[in-house]
């Protein structure tokens, strides 16, 4: 199987190489990204017996940051190296000053071998769901323990893996342990034939990454009489219903201020165009930040900067989190606003945040919308009924508080599988 995989991968690379070369010539952004992946860990100093943590993108990097912080506090002496897959994840890791950050190279031995030579890992930690065949086989051949931390497997992934069950079992053959975030995730692994002795449930570290209900600073000075609603992590298809809801709500509640925060910053111009189509007055956050105030009550704020969303959640009374009306997206992080004690609204397709959605729905802190048209009605209800709003907000906050502690349990798993 190893030989077949390597041949297929190399063949695909050869077929794709003319297109990759052409794109590198056309796009400086792609060229920079591709070069970063090819370089791998070359820029790092030589490490010995390192703890290698792989975090694919922004969400996983945030989990890695919490894990690394607590590992260090607990006395971890090994040098830690952190790899990422996406450029946004890499940028966040650099911004957060995380240790020995590099881009994971293409999953072929010729590019992976220099990484092993450079950082000499004694253990590999995979955050959440990313499994690379060649990387795992290299670790198996080198007798390096591999753990999946905060592991998850969606119903959609389960169906896909079942179609290629033998490949999945070959892929995960070298895994030392799967530390899953919920019993449901563990049961799905069992259905795929993973031995029970290789599976543990340690909980969801995302609960440990969340704020405790306050932030250090406010991004802007808001009118104290305003009613702030945050539409966070919106994806294509979300902003239309959001605009329709805002227009109706503005007529009934003149003091509302809406904050739209697209999940990807490259969509800002696209979202601006859509807002103009609805003839909704808006202000870019980057322009507001210079003035540090809002000059017209009831405006729509378009958040065009990363890293300040939680500051708006801290001042909001209601939140809608995008990505849940399209099964292709599978939802976004609904725990962030929940931590600030407010009702959290989201769509029906939450396959990437299944556990979080179920917990919030059960507690009454999360409201799952079956249709986009419900957004306006549910927002209106909570604006009009402060008692229901406060009750749901408290339930959301309590749900977050009750499920903290997974990071310590995960570190215990790391210690148990640490090589002598």
Residue 1 maps to a domain: no
Check residue 279 and give left, alpha or beta (phi > 0: left; psi -120 to 50: alpha). Answer: left
Do both 393 and 409 map to the same domain? no
| CA 357 to each of CA 317, 361, 380: distance values in angstroms, whole numbers, following the listed order | 19, 6, 22
Residue 391 maps to a domain: yes
Rounded-to-5 percentages of helix, strand, coil across the chain: 50, 15, 35
Q: CA angle, corner 292, sides to 290 and 296, nearest 5?
A: 105
Q: Quickly count: other Cβ atoms within 10 Å of residue 106's Cβ.
A: 15
Q: What tokens were used for 214?
A: 């306050």
The answer to which of 37-41, 127-131, 261-265, 365-369 has the lowest mean pLDDT is 37-41
Residue 87 sits in a domain of what CATH number?
3.40.50.11720
Do both 188 and 242 map to the same domain? no
Check residue 292 and give left, alpha or beta (phi > 0: left; psi -120 to 50: alpha). Answer: left
Gap between the Cα atoms of 233 and 261, Å rounded: 6
Check residue 284 and give left, alpha or beta (phi > 0: left; psi -120 to 50: alpha). Answer: beta
**Number of helices and strands (H, E) in the chain?**
19, 14
Convert the pLDDT of each residue in 78-124 to its tens digit.
999 999 999 889 999 999 999 999 999 988 888 899 999 999 999 99
Do both 171 and 47 map to the same domain? yes
Do both 116 and 188 map to the same domain? yes
Residue ranges making up the domain that contains 192: 23-203+405-416
Altogether, the residues listed in the chain come to a count of: 420
Residue 61 maps to a domain: yes
Do both 164 and 243 map to the same domain? no
Convert the pLDDT of each residue in 353-407 to its tens digit.
999 999 999 999 999 999 999 999 999 999 999 999 999 999 999 999 999 999 9
Do both 370 and 410 map to the same domain? no
Number of domains comprising the chain: 2
3-state DSSP assignment of residue 250: helix
Place of tokens 């077949």: 4
């Amino acid at each position: 199987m190893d030989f077949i995989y390597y041949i297929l991968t190399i063949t695909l690379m050869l077929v794709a190489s003319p297109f990759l070369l052409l794109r590198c010539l056309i796009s400086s952004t792609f060229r920079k990204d591709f070069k970063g992946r090819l370089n791998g860990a070359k820029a790092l100093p030589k490490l010995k017996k390192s703890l290698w943590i792989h975090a694919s993108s922004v969400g996983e990097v945030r989990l890695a940051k919490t894990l690394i912080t607590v590992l260090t506090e607990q006395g971890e002496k090994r040098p830690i190296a952190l790899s990422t897959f996406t450029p946004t994840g890499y940028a966040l890791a650099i911004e957060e000053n995380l240790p020995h950050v590099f881009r994971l190279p293409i999953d072929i031995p010729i590019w992976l071998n220099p990484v092993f030579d450079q950082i000499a890992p004694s253990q590999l930690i995979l955050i959440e769901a990313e499994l690379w065949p060649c990387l795992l086989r290299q670790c198996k051949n080198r007798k390096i323990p591999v753990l999946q931390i905060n592991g998850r497997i969606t119903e959609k992934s389960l169906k896909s893996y079942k179609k290629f069950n033998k490949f999945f079992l070959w892929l995960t053959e070298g895994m030392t342990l799967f530390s899953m975030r919920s019993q449901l995730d563990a049961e799905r692994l069992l259905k795929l034939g993973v031995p029970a002795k290789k599976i543990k449930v340690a909980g969801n570290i995302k609960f440990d990454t969340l704020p405790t209900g306050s932030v250090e600073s406010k991004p802007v000075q808001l009118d104290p009489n305003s009613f702030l609603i945050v539409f966070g992590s919106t994806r294509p298809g979300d902003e239309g219903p959001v605009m329709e809801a805002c227009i109706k709500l503005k007529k009934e509640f003149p003091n509302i201020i809406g904050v739209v925060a697209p999940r990807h910053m490259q969509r800002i111009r696209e979202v601006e165009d859509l807002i103009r189509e609805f003839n909704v007055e808006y202000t870019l956050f980057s322009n507001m930040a210079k003035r540090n105030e809002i000059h017209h009550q009831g405006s729509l704020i378009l958040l065009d900067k990363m890293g300040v969303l939680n500051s708006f959640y801290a001042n909001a009374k209601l939140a809608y989190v995008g990505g849940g009306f399209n099964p292709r997206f599978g939802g976004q992080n609904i725990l962030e606003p929940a931590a600030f004690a407010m009702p959290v609204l989201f769509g029906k397709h939450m396959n990437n945040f299944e556990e979080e959605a179920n917990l919030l729905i059960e507690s009454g802190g999360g409201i799952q919308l079956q249709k986009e048209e419900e957004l306006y009605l549910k927002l209106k209800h909570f604006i009009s009924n402060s008692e229901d709003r406060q009750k749901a907000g408290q339930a959301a906050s309590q749900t977050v508080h009750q499920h903290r502690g997974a990071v310590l349990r995960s570190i215990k798993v790391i210690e148990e599988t640490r090589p002598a």
